[in-house]
Chains A and B, each alone.
Chain A
C-alpha cells in the first residue's frame, strides 16, 4: 500500500505553489497587456493608457471587467461545443506549461526539508512543454473551424501550418542544446548553468549555443503568433483572425492566452538559454544572506530576465512589419530548418572533438 501513502504536506505545498504560479502568470499576462500598450505608445511618442488609476495601472482590470459584461454571441451556424471548447483549450494549454519551469532553487527550511520551487520536476520537461504548446494550436484551430466563417477558417489554417512548420526548426535547434546538456529535465538544465562563469567559459547556454538560441527565438515568435509572424491575425487580409466570431470573455480568453503564452515562452527561453534563476556571483550571495532571501533573489532574477524578454518581444512587434505568408513559410522551411540542422551538426562535431 505504498502508493496510497500520500504525503498531505507535500500535496498542500504543491497546491499552494501551483496556485501561486497560476495566479502569478495571470497577473503578469494582465500587466503584459498594459505593458504592450505602454510600449506601443512610447515607440510612437504617445503616452498610452493613463486614465484608469496612476499611470493607467488599473487599465487591465477595466478591460477585463468590460469583457465580462459584454454580450456573449454564439453564431447560429457555429458548432457550439467546439466553439466554446476553443478558447477554453487555448487558455488551459497556456496555463499548463508553467508546471515544469523551475522558478527558483530549492528552499531548504531549518528542519532540513527542501521546498522545490517547481511544480513538477518531470524528467522530460522540455518534451512536456513542446507537447502542450502543440496542443495549444488546437484551441486556435477549433475556434476558427467552429466559427463557420471563411476568414476564421483561413486564419486558423494559417496558424496551424505556421506552428507546425516552426515547431520543426524549434525542435531541431533544441536537439543541439540537448546534446550538450544530456538531459530533458528543466531542473538539470538550469543546474548546469549555475553561476555565470566556470572553467574558463560562460555557463549560460546562450553563449554555448548562440545560433540555436537565435533559431529558437525566431521560432518562438512564430509559435506565439506574434508580430512579425502574426499571420493568424492579419487584419488587412482576414478582417480579424480566428477569433472574429468571438465576443465577450471568450474573446478575452484567446487574447489573454496569447499573453500567458508569451510569459511562459519568455520563462522557457530564460530557463534554457539565460541560466534561469542563476546570476553572476550567486554563490557569494548565497553565503552572505539567509536562505529565504536568497531564494527570493533568485526568483526575482528569473522574473527580471523574463520581463526583459517580454519587452524584447514587444519592441520587435512595434518595429517590424508583418511577413507575407509565403515569405514566412520560406523562412521557416528553407532557412531556419537547414540552419538548425547545421547547428546540430556543428554541435555534434564539437562534442565529439571535445570528448577525444
Chain B
C-alpha cells in the first residue's frame, strides 16, 4: 500500500533475540538512565522560600491608585464597571465638598467602590478602560477567604497606602 504520510514508521515485530529475552541488558540500560537522573538539576521551585518572577503582563489583585500627594485618582466615571465583562465592579459617586481637596483629586469621587473577587476574571479590561490611571492590576496573587462576604473587596481593601501618611508613620 502506498504510504499516506512520510511520518509512518513500520513496527518491528520480529521475535526477540536471546539477548533481548534475557532482559538484563535492557534493565541495566534503564538503570543507567534513572541513576543518571541523580545528577540532573531539580525542576522543583521551593515555593514559599523561592519565588519565580511574574511575567510582565501578569494580572493579579486590583489596587486603587493615589496621585503623588496621596489623593484618590478615581473619579467614579464608571468606565471600568462598564468595561467589566464579569460585572464585578460596583461604585457610587459623590461630590467633593470644600475642604476635601487633599483627599480627592477631581470634583467627583467614588464614595463606594467594590470589586467582587468571586466574579472577577482578572482580564484587566478595567485597567485599560480607566482614563485616570486609578485602577491597576498588581502582582499580588488572589488570596483565599473563608466567607463569601469578605471576597467583595471594598475601597479600604483596594486603595494603596497614603504616601505621605506612610512617611509620617515612620
Complex Cα spacing A50 to B45, Å: 12
How distant is B25 from chain A, measured CB to nearest CB, in Å? 13
B1-40 interface (Cβ within 8 A of A): 24, 27, 30-31, 33-35, 37-38, 40
Tell whether, in the assembled complex, residue B31 and residue A316 are in contact, meaning their CB atoms are under 8 Å apart.
yes
Question: B41: which of A43, A45, A214, A315 is its contact (CB, 8 Å)?
Answer: A45
Question: A315: which of B34, B42, B44, B46 is its contact (CB, 8 Å)?
Answer: B34
Question: A43: which of B24, B37, B43, B44 is its contact (CB, 8 Å)?
Answer: B37
Tell whether, in the assembled complex, residue B34 and residue A43 are in contact, meaning their CB atoms are under 8 Å apart.
yes
How distant is A329 from chain B, measured CB to nearest CB, in Å? 15
Question: B37: which of A44, A47, A316, A320 is its contact (CB, 8 Å)?
Answer: A44
Tell whether, in the assembled complex, residue A315 and residue B37 are in contact, meaning their CB atoms are under 8 Å apart.
no
Complex Cα spacing A334 to B74, Å: 82
Tell whether, in the assembled complex, residue A319 and residue B34 are in contact, meaning their CB atoms are under 8 Å apart.
yes
Q: Which residues of B contact A47 (CB under 8 A)?
A: 42, 44, 46
How distant is A226 from chain B, measured CB to nearest CB, in Å? 14
Chain B CB within 8 A of A113 CB: no
Tell whether, in the assembled complex, residue A319 and residue B31 are in contact, meaning their CB atoms are under 8 Å apart.
yes
Question: B38: which of A42, A214, A320 is its contact (CB, 8 Å)?
Answer: A42
Question: A320: which of B30, B35, B40 is its contact (CB, 8 Å)?
Answer: B30
Q: Which residues of A contact B37 (CB under 8 A)?
A: 42-45
Q: Which residues of A contact B33 (CB under 8 A)?
A: 319
User: Considering residues A42, A47, A50, A319, which has the most beta carbons from chain B within 10 angstroms of its beta carbon?
Assistant: A319
Interface string of A36-72 (1 = CB under 8 A from B): 0000001111110010000000000000000000000
Complex Cα spacing A44 to B37, Å: 7
Tell whether, in the assembled complex, residue B43 and residue A46 are in contact, meaning their CB atoms are under 8 Å apart.
yes
How distant is B67 from chain A, measured CB to nearest CB, in Å? 44
Q: Whose C-beta in chain B lies nearest to the C-beta of A228?
A: B27
Q: Which residues of B contact A46 (CB under 8 A)?
A: 42-44
Q: Whose C-beta in chain B lies nearest to the C-beta of A46?
A: B44
Interface size for B (C-beta < 8 A) is 15
Tell whether, in the assembled complex, residue A319 and residue B27 are in contact, meaning their CB atoms are under 8 Å apart.
yes
Complex Cα spacing A318 to B34, Å: 8
How distant is A35 from chain B, measured CB to nearest CB, in Å? 13
B63-97 interface (Cβ within 8 A of A): none
Q: Whose C-beta in chain B lies nearest to the C-beta of A214?
A: B24
Tell whether, in the assembled complex, residue A45 and residue B30 are in contact, meaning their CB atoms are under 8 Å apart.
no
User: Considering residues B24, B33, B42, B46, which has the most beta carbons from chain A within 10 angstroms of its beta carbon?
Assistant: B42
Q: Which residues of B contact A214 (CB under 8 A)?
A: 24
Tell whether, in the assembled complex, residue B30 and residue A50 are in contact, meaning their CB atoms are under 8 Å apart.
no
Given A50-B46, A320-B27, A315 and B35 contact (CB-CB distance below 8 Å): yes
Q: Whose C-beta in chain A lies nearest to the C-beta of B48?
A: A51
Q: Which residues of A contact B42 (CB under 8 A)?
A: 45-47
Q: Which residues of B contact A43 (CB under 8 A)?
A: 34, 37-38
Q: Which residues of B contact A315 (CB under 8 A)?
A: 31, 34-35
Complex Cα spacing A44 to B44, Å: 10
Complex Cα spacing A320 to B24, Å: 11
How distant is A269 from chain B, measured CB to nearest CB, in Å? 17
Complex Cα spacing A316 to B44, Å: 23
Q: Which residues of A contact B40 (CB under 8 A)?
A: 45
How distant is B108 from chain A, measured CB to nearest CB, in Å? 52
Complex Cα spacing A320 to B31, Å: 8
Q: Whose C-beta in chain A lies nearest to the C-beta of B21?
A: A335
Question: B43: which of A45, A316, A318 is its contact (CB, 8 Å)?
Answer: A45
In the complex, 7 of the A-B residue pairs with CB atoms within 8 angstroms, ordered by the A residue number, are A42-B37, A43-B37, A44-B37, A45-B37, A45-B42, A214-B24, A320-B30
Q: What residues of chain B have their CB less than 8 Å away from a CB belonging to chain A?
A: 24, 27, 30-31, 33-35, 37-38, 40-44, 46
List 20 additional A-B contacts (Cβ < 8 Å) besides A43-B34, A47-B42, A319-B31. A42-B37, A43-B37, A43-B38, A44-B37, A45-B37, A45-B41, A45-B42, A45-B43, A45-B44, A46-B42, A46-B43, A46-B44, A47-B44, A315-B31, A315-B34, A315-B35, A319-B30, A319-B33, A319-B34, A320-B27
Nearest 5 pairs between A and B by C-beta?
A47-B44, A319-B34, A319-B30, A45-B43, A43-B34
